[in-house]
A and B are shown apart, each in its own frame.
Chain A
Amino acid sequence: GAVVSQHPSWVICKSGTSVKIECRSLDFQATTMFWYRQFPKQSLMLMATSNEGSKATYEQGVEKDKFLINHASLTLSTLTVTSAHPEDSSFYICSASGLARETQYFGPGTRLLVL
């Protein structure tokens, strides 16, 4: 149980284009979903927290107009990186928590490379 999927697993795009990443909780309803970014050999950095049907809460320093988050249902959240630039290249990981609200289950991650 508690499986979280992400799609795509990797994406390469040109600078200036937008990229959408999907995060799904497959076998539970996710009251809250989280989006993290991880650079090579570094820890996970929280970008934003979202609850179903509400606007996402962004961490300090994260541009909400650049990283658009939509949490349309209890099983799906999307992260759109708008006008991507090479410095946005990173490993993006989502997590979800359900009834056991303190526990986050992570997706497999999406590797983004912006050329």
Chain B
Amino acid sequence: GENVEQHPSTLSVQEGDSAVIKCTYSDSASNYFPWYKQELGKGPQLIIDIRSNVGEKKDQRIAVTLNKTAKHFSLHITETQPEDSAVYFCAASRWDSGTYKYIFGTGTRLKVLA
């Protein structure tokens, strides 16, 4: 079945530095890739997403890149701030039986050190 690998599992960066989280998916039919930020005790919040017909998307300090051939997609956070500290999840999905089901990665715990 579909599998999504996410690395690293933990990441510590100094405030102001960049953070990169990488995901690899197995199902070549996947065509939608959202990223979520989850703070402790809360539900995941969508921070950015990308569709398979686009190679890169940027929203202020956050960017996502997609390499369909290699089945890789990555989250880039620049100028990190302490409030960026959270767990980040990638997901891969495709239309199947009337819905888009997500396969989530295992998560990356990001710590931004002040």
Contact = CB atoms under 8 A, between A and B. Distances in A.
Interface of A: 4, 6, 32, 34, 42-44, 46, 49, 51, 57, 93, 97, 101-109, 111
Interface of B: 32, 34, 36, 41-46, 49, 51, 89, 93, 95, 97-102, 104-107
Contacts of A49: 99, 101
A102 B43 contact: no
Contacts of A6: 43
A103 B46 contact: yes
Contact of B89 (A32, A43, A51, A111): A43
Contact of A44 (B97, B100, B104): B104
B100 A106 contact: no
Q: Is the interface of A mostly helix, strand, loop or mixed?
A: strand
B44 A106 contact: yes
Q: Is the interface of B mostly helix, strand, loop or mixed?
A: strand
A49 B44 CA distance: 17
Nearest to B31: A102
Given A46-B101, A97-B100, A102-B93, A107 B43 contact: yes
Nearest to A109: B43
A51 B104 CA distance: 21
A108 to B, nearest CB: 5
